[in-house]
Structure 1
Amino acid sequence: MLVIISRKKVGEFLGFPVFRIAAMKFLPCNEALKFSTAQEKRDEAYFMNLLKVVESTPGLYYSYETDITLNLQRRCKLAEGWMSKPIWKSADPRFVWNKSLLYELIEFKGHECGGEELTLEGDTANFIETEQLLELEGYRSSLLQIRGSIPILWEQIVDLSYRPSLRIISHEQTSNVVERHFHDLYQRYGDTMAVDLTNKHGDEGQLSTAYAAEMQKLPHVRYVSFDFHHVCGNSNFDNLQILYNQISDDFQKQGYILVDAEGSILEEQKGIIRSNCIDCLDRTNVTQSLLGQKSLTMQLQRIGVLSSIECITMLSEEFRKFRTLWAEQGDEVSLEYAGTHALKGDLVRYGRQTIGGIIKDGLSALSRYYLNNFQDGVRQDALDLISGHYNVNRNGPSPFQLNGFESLSYLPVASAASALLIGGLTITSVTFHQAGRQAQQYLSTVIWAGVTAGVMAVVKANGRQFCSRPRLCGLM
């Protein structure tokens, strides 16, 4: 049983309080574990460690009185009878992170427990739907955007490299996968424009080319390729206007939803922008914040707060809050996915890159390298366990009994190898300088050089084995 033991009110939505989980605790409830085998007890201990990882997961929200998994447009268009159903029935299942935990209660129609109503916490995962909401003078307005990784079959497996190579998986079903993905988006959001922010060279370029080739087979979806790094570099945020000029007509036609004080729908969002880079964190968040800014200006003009020649940037305090909102949203998504704050956050927060931002980005990049290589496998296992992607089977083999070299994986061995490598390089350098003066050091130099070269070869050849990789659901 998962119990929320600390929370913080972070705001209101439609007049109802919204809470962020500050701390939670898993309580074991199965007395039968006392009679488990030794291996089952070891497995249970590891599963509990995974659940402790979940306990510290950031960015989980809930509300007792309103469903925060539904966007405003869907909420307005659902029948009143549907909205009066229990939250677990009306919620969008994609964003209910604890759906698996509630399965038995839902199966037994148990929307009440001990006389108290149950509530669902909503959250987004690999596919992220971001809603920018405005409530002003009785009006409610909303812009929806989505982000998600490139929807072809590909992989990027950590191997101690700073940028692990991307591999496109050739499969006869690739085109069908892409078509189904965009068909689902059309069913949910209407016309879709795909904005691809990846580089056009190297591994990213190959992936982008493959994506573009598949998108040519979908004439009803507009695909826009924009090399963010090439055009905007590290600081030319204003160059994003080039992208906006390319897509502005379609973006404005897609519109936004606007509801008046009586609940009448005055405007409706007719489509959506789907943005991506590689991890859909940094470049994507910068781009989405710009589109949010453009839409907010249009909404305020429509309501009458701004004239047709004014924009949100002229309202200094409101614009500062807007940029802070998007910067913090980018940080939260990045913390959930990568364990660090977003890169390029000062582009969103200040419209330019700062010295402090560059230093912060460098530290975050180093942290991501460490987490990607030595912790993300465990975090993925924890999420697979809590979300129900992996189901514990007491009659099957233990998922944690590893054989061969893979059992030596993860940080301790990688750290030892790194220490040996650094030590070998240091000793080799010292003895090499001494060799000119002391011939007896020559043999030592050769030996340590050989050891260092050997360690380097082993690490390079078996980089994946040193890294933390998922063990419950595995890789493709």
Structure 2
Amino acid sequence: MRPLHQRYTLYSERNDTYIFVPEGEAQSLTIHRSSGDIVLNSPKYTVPYAAQRSEKAVYGIVGLISLTISEYLIIITGRTLQGQLMGNDIYRATEFDILPLGSVSAYIPPHPVEARLVNLVRSHFSGGNFLFSYTWDLTRRLQVQLPVDESQAGKAFWEVVDDRFFWNKFLQSKFIEVATQNPNAAYGAFILPIMYGTFEIRPTFLHGRHMNLALISRRSRFRAGTRYFRRGIDQEGNVANFNETEQILLVEGPTTPGSVRTSDDNYATKLSYVQIRGSVPLFWSEVNTLRYKPDLQIMDLATTNNAMHTHLTNQTKIYGNQSLVNLVNQKGYEKPVKEAYERHIAELDVPNVKYQYFDFHHECRQMRWDRISVLIDRIKDDLDKEGWFQIDNGSNTPKKTQTGIVRTNCMDNLDRTNVVQAALAKYTLNQQLRDLGILSSTDGVDDFQSFSKEFREMWADHADAIAKAYGGSGALKSDFTRTNERTQKGVLEDGVKSVTRYLKNNFFDGARQDGFDLVTGAWVPRKNPSASLFLIADARPLITRSMPAIASFSLFMICAGLTLPRTSDYSLFYYFLLWFTLFGMAMLFILLHGIEYVSWPRLNPLTDIIYYNGPGFRSGHHGKGLGGKDGSSWKKSRMTPVGSKRPALVEEVELGTLKKRVD
């Protein structure tokens, strides 16, 4: 692959251009602010004398995004080294700058709608875990990347990356268009693919062998979003919270005492094991109502089988055979999801796809986490048959390839999924080490405390990162992943994490979801801020908006009343009666109209899902006021944004899918 530029000096010439000058003798790039044109300068080009040099170094160009008034250039101005993978530096982006192309300010935009959108972009990049490398393709697993493919030698990075994990693909559209139109020019060296995910690598030692154990998770940019606002599948077969997780083991050759370790990519053996996770591939959602348990909504659409078939066949083309491990409860709240999933799987009967149900909470009740071995025993034959990828030093032909994959899901694809994936990874790691002769047939990873500790902590950190990105807090049950034991302290920590998730999912995730939709291109704004006034306006009735203020003021007056002097036990009776009554009425109103107080996404509203009345299953109609199932007042206030002549629910938005829309 063609190399990428690793560092730039940024110059700006008045309000006319941004000039990126790479290190070395490479051609510089100019972006014209007035027209947005991207031009590769001639090798003899010199920066104008009057150009102003930026004090910050630039480590990559993320891309361009067009908002309601101006286009903005997003660049990386801070990075930290996460580690080295086979001699290649892997970085995490830590600081971003947003540079306007028009004559506006990115910090004080001229219109509140523009300010809102800029803040969504800024918070998205400041709150995510974005990884990149200039010399290694992080988006592709070893099995795809390591066998030498001569046809890719002259291609740019962006041409060979896995499209699912090319997070800034939409932002790089203009750069890619210019590079495609000028294939012989060096535009590709400026296009830096970034990945939303995790990367960690740790050196370890076992039975005289130096090794590096790495873990990479890759988050799909399709149907991306937050826990309750992105569930299930879309019409194109993409599922929410899809992550590919790759465990890599790099083993050096046997060493003699006193020998010097090599620091280059001279590993005797490289091994890789891949798993995937993703939301239950149905059209379903959970509707927040301020209750701890949202209303469960399953939509039995005519296109469900087609969408599920597309999803499963796409995965088999990429990974081979699939073992679907479903961890959803078979009783209570989650039961309808399990039944619908199994019904459609039976109807489809997709070749090379096997379904395995495991009732995690029932099997592992009373903290019997060792019972996960029951699941492993059930799918052991498939795990052994499908194996892992292995290539030895000096060989271009893999010794082994992974011919199948385990797709694990629970309701959120977080906590139960994390525990099971870690157990499957440990089982495979044991098999790999035994196959290499490093462990005997009776030994296991858990028999070696230091090695086991590195493995457990790596998987626990990985679980926390995925859970924060999707659910808003660290993973539950991570104490078991870290220590191999479920503890009372871990249960208490899980309680705190659950409360954190509740608060974030109900009161903050709407803006986070809007950030995902804006950056990935699921929503494209018009060049007219007045058309998007609904982003900053509160269209709810005055009585609805006033209730939190009434409840807060009443609580304040109650607390103040406790400090007032009193002549008798009954002197403040009517005072407290008044304020307790107002407080109770306000809280009752808030609970009855809970949907009104949830932070909903505004760019792609979910009203059709909330008020779906077709075939399927609905656990309840809470939070919609006394109208309950109808909830006409909520629909009236939420469906017509201020400044719009048509409903916020655009015709292009279909159930269970996010199409690009223009507002």
TM-score in terms of structure 1 length: 0.89
Bigger helix fraction: 1
CA-CA distance at 1:354 after TM superposition = 2.6
User: Is 1:53 the equivalent of 2:130?
Assistant: no
Distance verdict in 2 for CA 1:229–1:306, change over 3 Å: same
Residue type matched to 2:338 in 1?
Answer: S
Distance verdict in 2 for CA 1:437–1:344, change over 3 Å: same
The residue number in structure 2 matching 1:397 is 531
Confirm or deny: 8 A CA contact 1:83 1:90 kept in the other structure: no
SS of the aligned residue for 1:244 comes to helix
SS of the aligned residue for 1:150 comes to coil
- Residue ranges of structure 1 left out of the alignment (5+ in a row): none
Confirm or deny: 8 A CA contact 2:179 2:187 kept in the other structure: no
Greater C-alpha Rg = 2
User: Is 1:101 the equivalent of 2:171?
Assistant: yes
The residue number in structure 1 matching 2:367 is 235
Confirm or deny: 8 A CA contact 2:172 2:191 kept in the other structure: no
The residue number in structure 1 matching 2:355 is 223
CA-CA distance at 1:406 after TM superposition = 7.3
User: Is 1:197 the equivalent of 2:270?
Assistant: no
Bigger strand fraction: 2
CA distance in 2, matches of 1:146, 1:379: 24
Confirm or deny: 8 A CA contact 2:92 2:129 kept in the other structure: yes
Match of 1:121 among 179, 191, 194: 194
CA distance in 2, matches of 1:406, 1:211: 40
CA distance in 2, matches of 1:367, 1:351: 25
Please give the residue correspondences for 1:11-26 in structure 2 after superposition, counting only pairs within 5 Å. 11-26=83-98
CA-CA distance at 1:197 after TM superposition = 0.9
CA-CA distance at 1:237 after TM superposition = 1.3
User: Is 1:153 the equivalent of 2:283?
Assistant: yes
Confirm or deny: 8 A CA contact 2:248 2:271 kept in the other structure: yes
CA distance in 1, matches of 2:283, 2:481: 31
Distance verdict in 2 for CA 1:95–1:415, change over 3 Å: farther
Confirm or deny: 8 A CA contact 1:377 1:468 kept in the other structure: yes
User: Is 1:244 the equivalent of 2:359?
Assistant: no
Match of 1:386 among 519, 522, 540: 519
CA distance in 2, matches of 1:99, 1:356: 42
Match of 2:247 among 132, 138, 152: 132
User: Is 1:472 the equivalent of 2:545?
Assistant: no
- Residue ranges of structure 2 left out of the alignment (5+ in a row): 1-72, 197-218, 221-240, 253-267, 610-663
The residue number in structure 2 matching 1:460 is 591
Residue type matched to 2:360 in 1?
Answer: F
CA-CA distance at 1:447 after TM superposition = 4.5
Match of 2:304 among 170, 174, 179: 174
Confirm or deny: 8 A CA contact 1:21 1:59 kept in the other structure: yes
TM-score in terms of structure 2 length: 0.65
CA-CA distance at 1:367 after TM superposition = 1.1
Confirm or deny: 8 A CA contact 2:77 2:95 kept in the other structure: yes
Q: Which moved more, 1:284-293 or 1:47-56?
A: 47-56
CA-CA distance at 1:307 after TM superposition = 2.2
Residue type matched to 1:474 in 2?
Answer: P
The residue number in structure 2 matching 1:293 is 426
Superimposed CA distance per residue, residues 114-156 of structure 1 (whole angstroms, 9 cap, x where no aligned partner): 8964321122142100000111122111111000111100111
SS of the aligned residue for 1:198 comes to coil
CA distance in 2, matches of 1:169, 1:268: 39
The residue number in structure 2 matching 1:88 is 158
CA distance in 2, matches of 1:143, 1:234: 31
Superimposed CA distance per residue, residues 377-399 of structure 1 (whole angstroms, 9 cap, x where no aligned partner): 10111111111111121258214
SS of the aligned residue for 2:127 comes to coil
CA distance in 2, matches of 1:66, 1:332: 22
SS of the aligned residue for 2:424 comes to helix
CA-CA distance at 1:427 after TM superposition = 10
Match of 1:347 among 472, 480, 488: 480
User: Is 1:4 the equivalent of 2:76?
Assistant: yes
Count of matched residue pairs = 466
Please give the residue correspondences for 1:22-33 in structure 2 after superposition, counting only pairs within 5 Å. 22-31=94-103, 33=104
Confirm or deny: 8 A CA contact 1:25 1:55 kept in the other structure: no
Please give the residue correspondences for 1:356-367 in structure 2 after superposition, counting only pairs within 5 Å. 356-367=489-500
CA-CA distance at 1:27 after TM superposition = 2.0
SS of the aligned residue for 1:56 comes to helix
User: Is 1:274 the equivalent of 2:347?
Assistant: no
CA-CA distance at 1:25 after TM superposition = 2.2
CA-CA distance at 1:407 after TM superposition = 9.0
Residue type matched to 1:228 in 2?
Answer: F
CA distance in 2, matches of 1:72, 1:469: 39
Superimposed CA distance per residue, residues 416-444 of structure 1 (whole angstroms, 9 cap, x where no aligned partner): 466367569989999xxx9x964x86666
CA-CA distance at 1:356 after TM superposition = 3.2
Confirm or deny: 8 A CA contact 1:417 1:459 kept in the other structure: no
CA distance in 2, matches of 1:12, 1:407: 57
CA distance in 2, matches of 1:164, 1:429: 36
CA distance in 1, matches of 2:541, 2:142: 48
CA-CA distance at 1:361 after TM superposition = 1.7
Distance verdict in 2 for CA 1:296–1:273, change over 3 Å: same
SS of the aligned residue for 2:455 comes to helix
